[in-house]
Structure 1
Amino acid sequence: MRVLVVHNRYRSEQPSGENNVVDAETALLAGAGHDVAVFERRSDDIAAMSAPRKALVPVRVPWNPAARADLARTLERRRPDVVHVHNTFPLLSPAILDACTHAGVPVVATLHNYTQTCVPGTLYRGGEVCTDCLGTSPLPAIRHGCYRGSALATVPPAASLVLNRRRWWTAVARFFCISGAQRKILVQAGLPAHRLAVKHNFVADPGVRRAGAGEHVLFLGRLTEEKGVGLLMAAWDRLAAEGGAGVPLVLAGTGPMAEEVARWARDRDDVRYVGLRGRDECRELTARAVAAVAPSTWLETFGLVVVEAMAAGVPTVAAAHGAFVELIDDGLTGLLHRPGDARSLADALRRAVTDAEGNRAMGSAARLRYEREFTPQVGLERLLSGYAAAIEGAATCEPV
C-alpha cells in the first residue's frame, strides 16, 4: 500500500506524544513493507522565519494556499492509495484536505485531541474540565483567550474551526479516535458517528520488565496542572504527613511547572525530580517502578504512559475519567481514583505500594492486556483495516 502521512510537527522543546505516535506508525508501516512517505511542516521552523513570514502564520491558520499547492504536487508525484492526516496546525491548515479531495485520494485522520470542538484541544480551562464550546461556536474560547491566554491569538484557530468544520466532516473518509471516551465526546459535538472508529495507540515492547516489587512510584510526562502534577504533590504531602509511602516518588519530564516541582522536591528524601530523560532511561525508570501514576485533571484522550507501564508489567494509579477508565481495569490491572481528589489519590497510591501481592497480580494482568490489545502487531492490523475501509468507502464522502 502507498501511504502519505501528513503532519505538522510540534516544537521539539515540548516533548510530544503525538510526534512519537506519528513516527512509530510510520516506521511500523515501512517495516511491514508498505511504501510510506511523509509530508510535514515543523513548528520549530517558525523561529527562523523573517518577520513578514511570521506575521502570515496566524493569517494562514484557517487556509494556507502554499501548503495546499505543495501537497497537490506531492500527490501528483507519489499517487498514494491513502493520505493519513495527523496535525495541520499551524503551518499546514485544512487546505490540505482540499488538495486530497481534488486529487481523488481518500483521507484518514487521527484525532489525537479535541481540536474538532475545542480550540486548544483539551476541554480544559481554569483548572477544570470545560465543555463551553462542545458542539457550538468557539466564541467562549475567544472570550476567555483559551489559546496562549490571548483572545487575539485564539481568533485564527477559532476561525479555522468554524470555517473548516464541514470540510473535515465531509473530506475525511475515516476518523481514528484513540479511545472510546474521546469518540463519545466527539459524537456529542456533532462529528459524523459512522466515520469515527476507535484505534488505540500501540506501544513497542520495551524489552525490559519489572523484576521484584519495584523501587519507586513514577510520574512520567509533561509537568502541567492538567496532568495533575499539583494534585499529585498534594496527595504525596498527605502521605508524607501520615508516615510516608515507604518508597520515593520520582518525577521525570519538564514543562511549565518544572521550577515549582524542583523547589518542592529539594531537600526531600521521599521525592526525586530527575528532569527530562531519554527514551531508554524512561523505560528503565518504568520497569523499576512499584506503580506509575497518571492523575490527570483533564479528560485524557489516551494515555501512553499507562500502556507503557502495562508493557513493563507495572500497574498504574490514574484518574477515573477520560480514556483511563477503559485502559485500566480497576483493581485488576491498576487502580482508579476520584478525579481531582487528593485524598482519593493518596489512598490509591498507599494501596498500590503496601499491597505487595495485589500489586504483583495487577502488574501481571496489565502485561497480559498489553499483549492482547496494544502491541505493534495489533496496531498494524487496525491501521490497515482503517485504511482499507477508507479506500472502499471513499466514494461516499461528498466533496466540499
Structure 2
Amino acid sequence: MRIILAHKFFYRRGGAELFFLETGSILERHGHEVAYFSSRHPDNLPTRYSDYFAHSPDYLQGNILKRALSIGKLVYSIETKRRFARLLRDFKPDLVHVFHLNVHLSPSVLVACAEAGVPVVMSCNDYKHICPNYKLYHHGRICEDCRGGWFFRAVLNRCCKDSLVFSSASCLEAYAHKWMRINSRYVHTYLFASNFMARETEKFWGKGSFRWRMLPNPLIDFAPSIS
C-alpha cells in the first residue's frame, strides 16, 4: 500500500514522535511505500517530502490582529490544506494515517483527504480529541468537566497551562471542531493504544458513534541492563 503518515512534529521530541516515526519504519519494513507530512522546524529529520511541510501558526508573537489571525489558522489552516492536497495529488496514497494535527497542522488535513476520496485512520495517543488540555487532568485532579461538549469550562478552569489565553484558544478550537463535525465526518477508524482510552472516548462521544480498533504501542528491541 501507499500510505501517508501525518504528524505535527518530524523530529524526536517525545514519545508521540517516536511512535509516529517507528510506525513509518515498521510499515516500510513490511513493504509499504510511506510518505510523510508535518510542520517545518530546524530540528526536523531529513526527508524528501520536506518541501510539502506546512508553516506552523505563531499565535504568541506580533500584534493583536496577527495573533487573532494565527489562532484562526490553529483552528483551520488553508495553507496546510493546500500543501497537503498537493502531496495527495503527487503521492496518490491508498490510506492516510494521522497522529497529532492540532495547533501546528490543523484538521484541514482531514478535509483535504475527504475531498480527494482517501480514507483516514487516526491514532490517539492522548485525550486531545475529547479534552482541550490533552490530559483529562488539571490542578491536581482528574477532570471530565467538558463532557457533553461544554468546552467553556476549560476557560473557567484555566486548565491549559493555567493560562486564560491558552485555555481560551483551546476552547475556541474545540468548539470549532465540534461545529465542523471533524471527528465524526472525516475519520474512518480511530486507533487507541489502550482499552481505557477507547472507553473514555465512548463516554464523551457515545458508544457505537465511531469506529475504533486497538493498536498497541510497538516494543522496540533493546539490550537489557541488569545490575
Aligned length: 209
Question: Are the aligned partners of 2:10 and 2:38 in contact in 1 as well (CA < 8 Å)?
Answer: no
Shift of 1:4: 0.3
User: Does 1:60 pair with 2:73?
Assistant: yes
* Cα distance, 1:148 vs structure 2: 2.3
Work out the CA distance in 1 between the residues paired with 2:100 and 2:172. 17
Note the C-alpha offset of 1:57: 3.2
The reply on whether 1:2 has 2:15 as its aligned counterpart is no
Mapped partners of 2:217, 2:66: distance in 1: 34
Indicate if the aligned counterparts of 2:75 and 2:107 stay in contact, CA closer than 8 A. Answer: yes
Which one has the bigger helix percentage? 1
How much does 1:25 deviate? 0.5
Post-superposition shift, 1:114? Answer: 0.7
Work out the CA distance in 1 between the residues paired with 2:89 and 2:130: 32
1:168 maps to what in 2? Answer: 183
The one-letter code of the counterpart of 2:24 is T
SS of residue paired to 1:61: helix
SS in 2 for 1:132: coil
C-alpha deviations, 1:190-242, integer Å up to 9, x for none? 15644021211111111x23xxxxxxxxxxxxxxxxxxxxxxxxxxxxxxxxx
Alignment partner of 1:177 out of 159, 179, 192: 192
Secondary structure of residue in 2 paired with 1:8: coil
CA separation of 1:78 and 1:62: change in aligned 2, threshold 3 A: same
Query: How does 1:104-123 map onto structure 2 within 5 Å?
Result: 104-123=117-136
* TM-score normalised by length of structure 2: 0.83
- Give the aligned partner of residue 392 of structure 1: none
TM-score normalized by the length of structure 1:
0.48
Q: In the alignment, what sits opposite 1:157?
A: 170
Query: Is 1:28–2:8 an aligned residue pair?
Result: no
Partner of 1:41: 39
Q: Which residue of 1 aligns with 2:105?
A: 92
Residue 154 of structure 1 and its aligned partner are, at CA, apart by 1.9
Match of 1:288 in 2: 226
Amino acid at match of 2:36: V
Tell me if structure 1 keeps the 8 A contact 2:39–2:56. Answer: no
1:19 aligned residue (17, 20, 30) = 17
Structure 2 residue ranges without an equivalent (≥5): 43-54
In the alignment, structure 1 residue 202 sits paired with structure 2 residue 221: no
Q: Summarize deviations over 1:252-301 as a string: whole Å, max 9, x none.
A: xxxxxxxxxxxxxxxxxxxxxxxxxxxxxxxxxxx337xxxxxxxxxxxx
| Distance change >3 Å, CA 80–CA 192, structure 1 → 2 | farther
Q: 2:160 aligns with which of 147, 151, 167?
A: 147
Task: Give the secondary-structure state (helix, strand or coil) at the position aligned to 1:122.
Answer: coil
Name the SS for the 1:26 alignment partner: helix
Name stretches of at least 5 consecutive residues in structure 1 with no aligned partner: 210-286, 290-400
Checking the alignment, whether the CA contact within 8 Å between 2:57 and 2:73 is kept in structure 1 is no
Q: In the TM superposition, what is the alpha-carbon distance from 1:9 to its structure 2 partner?
A: 1.2
Q: Which has the larger radius of gyration?
A: 1
Q: Which amino acid aligns with 1:146?
A: C
* Conservation of the 8 A alpha-carbon contact between 2:57 and 2:104: no
For residues 47 and 59 of structure 1, the distance between their equivalents in structure 2, rounded to whole angstroms, comes to 9
